[in-house]
Amino acid sequence: MVAAETHPAGSPANDRVRAHLERTLRGLGLQTSVQDTVAPEAGQLSGSAGGTTMARVRNVVARLPGTDPTGRVFLVAHYDSVQSGPGGNDDAAGTSAILEAARALTSGPRLRNDVVFVLTDAEEACLCGAAAFAAEHPLAADGGVVLNLEARGRTAR
Ligand SMILES: [Zn+2]
């Protein structure tokens, strides 16, 4: 479902992937929301000449509360694909691994610390989704341990 078709940020196909992710995470009983914002490219303020890259991003964020949390663990992958392919390993593999981790963690013993599942948008265009989560999302405010599941594309162009 995540890599059934090419689904760059902003496309109807990407809307379908996002709906699948929301359904799946809500189906596990997780508090799930979509961070819908407009964000600049990561590192935009580093002084590159020329224009500004911005994107509308819709990050899917789900939280599994810990029993006695002292911090948060973030499991992160991006769900958008490049424009030239369906993104099977970059990054549907990471996205799928996070859905499976969510399933396992919601069916096993409760963890002490909060786990936040962050499926970001618009990575391929500009890392805008990850930048928006880090800069704006309330769950990111106190930091934590971040595991980012990412892969390289495989096609020789
Ligand atoms: Zn990627």
- Assigned domain for 118 exists: yes
**Residues within 5 Å of ion ligand 1, judged at the Cβ atom:** 90-91, 150
* Chain-centre distance for alpha carbon 88: 15
How sure is the predictor about 50, in pLDDT bands with cuts at 50, 70 and 90?
low
**Which range of residues forms the domain containing residue 104?**
12-42+55-148
- Assigned domain for 48 exists: no
- Assigned domain for 5 exists: no
Instruction: Give 69 Cα–ligand 1 centroid separation in angstroms.
Output: 30
Instruction: Give 122 Cα–ligand 1 centroid separation in angstroms.
Output: 10
- Assigned domain for 17 exists: yes
Number of domains in the chain: 1
How sure is the predictor about 62, in pLDDT bands with cuts at 50, 70 and 90?
very high
- Assigned domain for 84 exists: yes
d(CA 21, CA 94): 13
How sure is the predictor about 1, in pLDDT bands with cuts at 50, 70 and 90?
confident
| pLDDT score, position 23 | 98
Mean pLDDT computed over 23-38: 97
Mean pLDDT computed over 114-122: 97
**Residue among 51, 27, 29, 60 nearest 132 (CA):** 60
CATH number of the domain to which 91 belongs = 3.40.630.10
| pLDDT score, position 41 | 86
**Is the pLDDT score of 37 beyond 80?**
yes
Instruction: Give 104 Cα–ligand 1 centroid separation in angstroms.
Output: 24
Instruction: Give 28 Cα–ligand 1 centroid separation in angstroms.
Output: 25
